[in-house]
Amino acid sequence: MYKYVLKRLLMMIPVLLGVTFLVYFILALSPGDPVRMILGEQASEESVQMLREELGLNDPIPVRYVRYLGGLLQGDLGTSYKNQLPVAPQVLERFPNTLILAMSGMLVALLVGTPLGILSAKKQYTLLDNATTVLGLVGVAMPTFWLGLLLVLLFSLHLGWFPSSGMGEGIGPLLKSLVLPAATLGTSCTASVMRMTRSSMLEVLRQDYIDTARAKGLKEGYITLHHMLKNALVPIVTVAGLQFGMLLGGSALTETIFSWPGLGRFMVDSIKSKDMPMVLGSAVFLAVVYSVVNLLVDILYAYIDPRIKSQYKK
């Protein structure tokens, strides 16, 4: 198992390099001169040139990327154009808030989506199945930001149950302020997990080994959990992993709606103020986190399905 994890870790290195390069490359291409932004339009050509040299902006992009990477390895993500402070601490400060939000969304998805998917598969073609299928379709199609606005309209403005923005201090207020953003972020994820659980369970339901399990005289609930769900889990985990990435990415929208002090909103604000090092730092950080999540999912596969592990032994 350690060997497998090590192998996956090694395989992640080129992916991380590629992802960081891609993000760096895209953002380095951006038009507009950062130096002019810092110094203002009235600055003399001479001082502009000096700062360009100082910031290393005259070097070709690959050289700049290698330099950036060197900094990245030491935890240095550059300096903000806007407030002249190092980017890394500012990113790290906001990331936990995003993580809390994304994990709550995921939790909602797993706690609601998986049981509904199982039930729906086991009671195929019943009213319950039809109802969850419709809910699943709507949930997947629902635009996150609109759902967020609707929830605010209903639950904070109309009913006044939950706050419409901000992040509460202390456990109680925090949880209260988390409900609407987590529901917003988690809905499409819940729907995806539910749909995948259903189709994956339907697949497993017809397998011979389920008949074997029944022929042993095992209870239906035990069979569902130990024989069906465990076999259906790989595609479910895949979707959950993918969705976690969507949650991190989608956090930009949810955080904007609920004024949640996370990395997504921070990135969007930085884009609007054209603070490229901040955008770059946030994007690179999110990309790296996403890659790590993918790695964890891959490792999880091996735990769930022994056949995958033995494939890697070869």
Partner 1 sequence: MEKQLAVKDLRVRYETADGVVEALNGVSLSLEKGKSLGLVGETGAGKTTLAKSIMRLIHTPPGNILAGEILFEGQNLLALPIEKMREVRGNEISMVFQDPMTALNPVMPVGQQIAEVIAVHEKVSKVEAMEKAGEMLEMVGLEARRAGEYPHQFSGGMKQRVVIAIALACNPKLLIADEPTTALDVTIQAQVLDMMLNLRKQLGTSLLLITHDLGVVAQNCDEVAIIYAGEIVEHGELREIFHDFRHPYTEGLFGSIPSLTQKADRLNPIKGLMPDPSDLPAGCKFHPRCKYAKAVCGNAIPGTYDVGGGHTVQCHRYGSKEYESEG
Partner 2 sequence: MRKRKVQQLEAMAAAGGRSLWQEALRRFRRNRMAMISAGFLVLLVVFAAATIIIDAVTGNAIYDAKVISQDLTHRLQPPSKDHILGLDEFGRDIALRIWWGARYSVFMGASSVLAAIVMGSILGAIAGYYGGVVDNVIMRFMDIMLSLPYILLAIAIVAALGPGLINVLIAISISYVPEFARVVRASVLSMRDQEFVEAARAVGASDRKVIFSQIFPNTMAPLIVQATMAVAGAISSIAALSFLGLGIQPPLPEWGAMLSNARTYIRDAWHITVFPGLMILLTILSLNIMGDGLRDALDPKLKN
CB of 149 to partner 2, least distance (A): 5
Residues 25-54 within binding reach of partner 2 (CB under 8 A): 26-32
Chain position carrying tokens 């001082």: 47
Say which DSSP state 152 is in.
I
User: Closest CB to partner 2 among 48 and 242?
Assistant: 242
Residues 166-205 within binding reach of partner 2 (CB under 8 A): 199, 202-203
> Does residue 306 touch partner 1 according to CB under 8 A?
yes
**Interaction mask 225-254, partner 1, x per CB under 8 A:** -xx--xx-----------------------
Q: Which two tokens stand for residue 72?
A: 């990245």
CB atoms within 10 A of CB 283: 22
**Partner whose footprint covers residue 152, from partner 1, partner 2, none (CB < 5 to 8 Å by kind):** partner 2
Please choose, out of 45-53, 209-217, 229-237, 249-257, the segment that lies near partner 2 by the rule CB under 8 A: 249-257
**Partner whose footprint covers residue 272, from partner 2, partner 1, none (CB < 5 to 8 Å by kind):** partner 2
What DSSP string describes 215-264?
A: HTT--HHHIIIIIIIHHHHHHHHHHHHHHHHHHHHHHHHHHHHTT--SHH
Provide the β-strand partners of residue 86. Answer: 79
Decide: 188 and 144 in contact? Cβ < 8 Å. Answer: yes
Decide: 295 and 9 in contact? Cβ < 8 Å. Answer: yes
Decide: 243 and 109 in contact? Cβ < 8 Å. Answer: yes
Task: By CB under 8 A, name the one of 57, 66, 111, 150 that touches partner 2.
Answer: 150
> Does residue 211 touch partner 1 according to CB under 8 A?
yes
**Interaction mask 256-285, partner 2, x per CB under 8 A:** xx---------xx--xx------x---x--
Decide: 204 and 228 in contact? Cβ < 8 Å. Answer: yes
> Could you give the CA distance from residue 72 to residue 91 in angstroms, rounded to a whole number?
13
Nearest alpha carbon to residue 132 among 205, 202, 234: 202
Task: Give the residues lining the site for partner 1 (CB under 8 A).
Answer: 206-209, 211-219, 226-227, 230-231, 304-307, 310
Residues that bind partner 2 (CB under 8 A): 14-15, 18-19, 22-23, 26-32, 137-138, 140-146, 149-150, 152-153, 157, 199, 202-203, 245-246, 248-250, 252-253, 256-257, 267-268, 271-272, 279, 283, 286-287, 290-291, 294
